[in-house]
Structure 1
Amino acid sequence: MSQPKASFKELIHGDKPVLVDFYADWCGPCKQQAPILKQLTERVGDKVRVVKVNVDHSQAAANQYQIRSIPTMILFKDGKIVWRQSGLQPLRTLEGLVHQFGE
């Protein structure tokens, strides 16, 4: 039996930082960001949870966080926004954030 899906609010209130990637399938820079996020999870392991939110399928979440351009990444710690940036983000930047907020 499958577990019920956690709500977005439950996801961002976890005990570790949550990096949310707001993206769309048709977005070129979003497609470039995907392998960087995969590398990030390979390098930092479970120090951060990466959640991808498709703005075309989750318009309520996109509206709630006023996503106006994609990709936009928001890092949550204890349910609060600690960092937010739009545009393609390099691995080094994301890894630095995980070390800054994940300890």
Structure 2
Amino acid sequence: MADDATYLTLTADNFEAEVLQSDVPVLVDFWAAWCGPCRIMNPIVEELADTFAGRAKVAKLNVDDEDALALKYHVMAIPTLIFFQHGEAVERIEGVAPKDSLTERMEALLTANSAA
């Protein structure tokens, strides 16, 4: 994990403000430290955070630390990436996903957000 990572670390204390009340799209990576596929996704999530800095939010939520939020969003497998738009979960991807497809989805949300 980079020292200057631009992704947010989510907790029960900041989830509502950072995700549900966000004016920009948010990608939340539900992960755990012991999860091999999560470790594969980590550098991709960091790159997405850098790519979308200032335009959208990219965040990580540790399911071991925040199990109530994982349960609330029906996270049954990790990694699970959930895209939020206007406080609503609009799409989810479970497992390892290519950076290109995640980038395309985030760009589509940004386009929709600017048209709204």
TM-score higher than 0.5: yes
Matched, 1:30 2:38: yes
Cα deviation, residue 62, structure 1: 0.6
Match for residue 16 of structure 2 among 9, 33, 48: 9
Q: Which runs of 4+ in 1 moved over 4 A?
A: none
State the identity %: 36
CA RMSD of aligned residues (A): 1.4
| Alpha-carbon shift at residue 38 of structure 1 (Å) | 1.3
Unaligned ranges ≥5, structure 1: none
Structure 2 runs not aligned, ≥5 long: 1-10, 112-116
Note the C-alpha offset of 1:92.
0.3
Is 1:92 paired with 2:93?
no
TM-score when scaled to structure 2? 0.79
Distance (whole Å) between structure 2 residues aligned to residue 80 and residue 59 of structure 1: 19
Question: How far apart, in 1, do the equivalents of 2:51 and 2:66 lie?
Answer: 28
Aligned residues: 99
Q: TM-score, normalised by structure 1?
A: 0.89
Deviations 1:45-92 (A, max 9, x none): 322211101000001101101110000010001101111110011110
CA distance, structure 1, for counterparts of residue 51 and residue 69 of structure 2: 28
